[in-house]
Amino acid sequence: MKQRILGKDLQVSALGLGCMGMSHGYGDARDKKEMIELIRRTHDELGVTFFDTAECYGPYTNEELVGEALEPIRNEVKIATKFGIALKDFKQALDSRPETIRHSVEGSLKRLRTDHIDLYYQHRVDKQTAPEEVAETIAQLMKEGKVLHWGMSEAGAETIRRAHRVCPLTAVQSEYSMFWQLPEHEIIPTLEELGIGLVPFSPLGKGFLTGAVKRGQTFAANDFRSKVPRFEQENIDKNMVLVDFVTEIAQRKGCTPAQVALSWVMAQKPWIVAIPGSTSWGHLTENFAAADITYTDEEMRDINARLSQITLSGHRYNADSQKNIDSGY
């Protein structure tokens, strides 16, 4: 697996593994032993060194899974986790007070079976706690050696600047894909200016870009897509034009739609490291093979010109979740 650098010096595999879906978000949790084996094989056979989890996934159980899976190879991998969200029935309560962060980091260290977190994100911006105060708390944790690098998730450009001035950020996590390109307006230019990496989650559009989501499809109540406007049946039907376009590119490149979606994200900037997730070994091997797909400048200009002509329907969050997104994003 090729390597990329986030921020100044965090070296990770060019694609990481998002572990959330193994125990949270997409229906019932998968078998723990099977997922532990899957995570280890992803490292041993595919060369993946970057693994993403969060305190609220489960909650807590995903960190426990990742910690157990990576304990034997801890010094060979980088672990990213997150603080700041209490979650119940997909409803978020945000809290990034200094005392909460300190409580969270101790819990994450224990569950992850480690003495340090390689990349620690503020999961969502807490509008009741200034970014500077969050950054100061993280700076203290870094001095103590408990956190090596830090980042923010779904933060607006001004919030990123305010936090970065106090304690330089290594990465910002954001949804970014052919299915959601808004970060190109302000976030990506800001990160490029400040030397901060981008870690896109849902680079496969929550499965949509792979072609796995079909017209008329419905989702179980414990699948968060059941509450996402873009996955309402009417919007699925309208947005199939994008799936058709991705499939067209895949046929031309001799690869799969999933590989097109991932390689497109990677091609936008050399400091972007996407974190696709899967619970299937077949899908994982397919996903990570995308790291070897390249495009000519002419190919990418044509693809992006065509993308700009596609208008997608439905928002990516429902009203309850959207209110917790940082202003200006």
Catalytic residues: 57
Helix (H) / strand (E) element for 254: namely: none
Tokens 């919007």 locate to 235
Angle in degrees, CA 30, 15, 49, rounded to 5: 75
Q: Which residues contact 53 (CB under 8 A, 6 or more apart)?
A: 19, 20, 62, 63, 65, 66, 79, 80, 81, 82, 112
- Evaluate whether 167 touches 6 at the Cβ level (below 8 Å): no
Rounded-to-integer distance, Cα 11 and Cα 5, Å:
5
Pairing of strands 10-13, 17-18: unpaired
Crossing angle between the packed helical segments 187-194 and 157-166, to the nearest 10 degrees = 20
